[in-house]
Chains A and B, each alone.
Chain A
Amino acid sequence: MALMPKRVKHRKVQRGRIKGNATRGNTVSFGEFGLQAIHGGYVNATTIEACRVAANQYIRGEGRLFIRIFPSKPMTARPLETRMGTGKGEPDHWVAVVKPGTVMFEIAGASKESARDCFNRVAHKLPLGVRMVERRPGA
């Protein structure tokens, strides 16, 4: 089941803008390797779930996956074949707002080769440019 918040303050929110680079969540903190976004964008909750399934199928029993993003932004949509107007659409799905530099997934306890292959599969599901990063020296 895709991720989504348990409680929210408002059902609908404004779109906003994705400005600048990530100043938080931009380092590998839990595992040894991470998948870092190099572009900004929205990642759908179902996409995160697809990434989780793909990664876990690959690293099964060899390592542990950490998901560092959460889809907390509701996106609305209008029903098909309806005319414009009559206000904003109804909540349709949830997305995570990702800024360039955000470490979206991390892997612990796996070899570098396994982590690279795993992230390669995950990257194919993502709508953003990504790259694999390691822990910073001394961190």
Chain B
Amino acid sequence: MVANRGEIACRIIRSAREMGIETTVIHSQCDDDSLAVRLADNAVEVGPPPASKSYLDIQAIVNAAIDHEIDAIHPGYGFLAENAKFAEAVEDAGKLFVGPDSQTIRLMGDKLAARETAKKAGVPIAEGSQSRLDSLEEMCTVAKEAGYPVLIKASAGGGGRGIRIANNQDELKRLAPQARAEAQATFGDGTLFVEKYIPQARHIEVQILGDGSEVIHCYERECSLQRRRQKVWEEAPALVLTDEIREKICASAVTLAEHVNYRGAGTVEFLYDESTEEFFFLEMNTRIQVEHPVTEMICGLDLIREMILIAQGSPLCLKQDEIRIRGHAIECRINAENPDQDFMPSPGTAESVTFPAGPGVRFDTMLFPGCNIPPYYDSMIGKLVVWDGSREAALSRLRRALSELEIEGIHTTKSLHQALVENGDVIALNIHTGFLEQWLSRRQSFHNR
């Protein structure tokens, strides 16, 4: 059973069907004619359109799994994918959760605990807190030792919420109470910690697979092009890394996953400081990620299939030396947003759609002509992934594929990607996590549609 919607539900159903597994997808009332529902063998409605009443309703989903005699649940990404209570409820119902066990999810979901675990495993972490910081005085002491600027982070954090940058002690004293209040309101936990801020860092993450005893990596991705801490464009491999650093960062990810006897697919995220060639553990995501296709393209793998095999109890069928990088892949997230209106969401009906195709092109989407894009969920409607023998060739292929993509009826971020693929700094890989927002603030229009 797929406990998700949109393109990732379609993606999971496709792999499961190839494996001869009967598929059931959950859906809300407004998704009753979605592509995932059309692709799955069975569909079960779990509630009204708002996610809190359907895709986030643990009891409704577990009940549906019991009623329909489901064997296993794949949570996809987002929604309940990293919710330890959901994993626990699935385990308690006697079903397989396609992912790590609830304790691992809980451990890695607590950012401070994850940081401590990384430190114990010998994985580099940015200077900062050893433990939770309850008083402002403690925070000031830790920040002074780490050196300003520092990041104030929420231990229960996610999606960039509760994070503040403090350039000096005055800012720390002013921003910490705000961050605590936001963390308390958003996550019900105001625990904060402080970490040295690395300006102009690059976001590098390592894909790993574990079977509970053995862990392998499937190399890294670079996801430095972000807006509001949401990734926009991802690539694999990260050509900014030397082979030596690549080996080190991938080995670090494997060490951390081995330390927690990781089972399933996961991603260990790092910040990379190009000027010092240092990398620092950021967090671990205990689920499949949106940008997993770029890894699949360069390694020739199906990560969803591997996840399902692991959940079935199979030991890893791949050996580390069988994973090799071939060529270069780029993914562009196509969102239903208007780049000319500060990325205002644009739900509605995709009246007509023309998908790019041809060699080395993959478009993971839930779109079909006339399909409805509801206002209730994430704005991502498709992922354009291209592969070619080199990055330069992949960029050319991306230009060609973007020109073939046509979506009528709603605004999309296609024009943003068309501008990025022509941008000199993007072409030269001269980017960092703040690059896109700085570039957007200087740019007036994308002449969208």
Q: Do A and B come from one complex?
A: no
Q: B interface vs A, CB < 8 Å?
A: none
Q: A interface vs B, CB < 8 Å?
A: none
